[in-house]
């Protein structure tokens, strides 16, 4: 966690409470007026549809995840595999529940050009919630309202499934995401976090294994 004007001192984790009732589902009214860039042509509903992801989307989503890792100021390379995405997001019957969900932006000609990866969580104060782990739109399709449409559909999905919050955890290095959440959606209350690839030369998994074996010593 990094303390900044977006994360007041002493804050360990902050939640964004979006759309407490169905009547309040309108991402558009949260759009800020801060950006001075000219607006790009908006994709029509017929050109791009927002839908829930299916297992066959995993290959394309993984490609976009790797594409995201090459963006300026982002240094982490995904270690997740195609098999991980398929097994964890779309497990076979009897092999547990899905650990995450996908929502995709599908262009009529270009195919999937963006996605949101999110998973269920729980707040001790307000109950059911969802964590938005990753939202990505390819650069060529940005500034067309696709990110806002994904967020709006995600909010509707959350409400329909009994959640009252969507939590955003954003890397301090993901400047494009910060601009989107702050300028386009006018959101202020969310957590900024560090992504640390290793600590003292050890990977996260090595640290986790060491912690798991601590009680056996």
**Is 181 one of the catalytic residues?**
yes
- CB contact burial 175-201 (16+ within 10 A = b; e otherwise): ebbbebbbbbbebeebbbeeeeeeeee
Rounded Cα distance between 174 and 95, Å, is 34
Report d(CA 187, CA 178) in Å as an integer.
9
DSSP state of 56: G
101-107/111-123 β-pairing? antiparallel
Query: Do 105 and 114 contact (CB within 8 A), yes or no?
Result: yes
Q: Which of 119, 130, 181, 214 is catalytic?
A: 181
Task: Report how many helices (DSSP H) and strands (DSSP E) the chain contains, helices first.
Answer: 5, 6
Whether the Cβ atoms of residue 105 and residue 141 lie closer than 8 Å to each other? yes
- The Cα–Cα gap between 62 and 78 comes to 9
Angle separating helix axes 82-89 and 58-69, nearest 10 degrees: 120
Residue in this structure with the two tokens 């595999």, named with its chain if needed: 81
Cross-strand pairs, 9: none
Active-site amino acid positions = 181
């Amino acid at each position: 966690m990094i303390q900044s004007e977006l994360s007041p001192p002493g804050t360990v984790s902050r939640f964004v409470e979006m759309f407490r009732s169905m009547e309040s589902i309108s991402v558009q009214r949260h759009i800020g007026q801060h950006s001075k860039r000219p607006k790009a042509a908006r994709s029509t509903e017929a050109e791009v549809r927002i839908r829930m992801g299916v297992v066959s989307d995993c290959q394309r989503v993984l490609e976009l995840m790797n594409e995201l890792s090459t963006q300026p100021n982002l240094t982490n390379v995904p270690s997740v595999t195609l098999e991980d995405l398929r097994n964890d997001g779309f497990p076979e019957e009897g092999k547990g529940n899905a650990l995450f969900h996908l929502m995709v932006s599908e262009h009529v000609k270009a195919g999937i050009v963006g996605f949101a990866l999110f998973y269920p969580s729980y707040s001790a104060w307000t109950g059911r919630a969802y964590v938005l782990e990753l939202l990505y739109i390819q650069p060529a399709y940005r500034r067309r309202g696709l990110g806002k449409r994904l967020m709006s559909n995600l909010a509707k999905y959350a409400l329909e499934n009994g959640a009252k919050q969507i939590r955003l955890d954003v890397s301090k290095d993901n400047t494009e995401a910060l601009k989107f959440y702050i300028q386009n959606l006018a959101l202020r209350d969310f957590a900024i976090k560090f992504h640390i690839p290793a600590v003292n030369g050890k990977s996260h998994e090595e640290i986790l294994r060491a912690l798991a074996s601590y009680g056996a010593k």
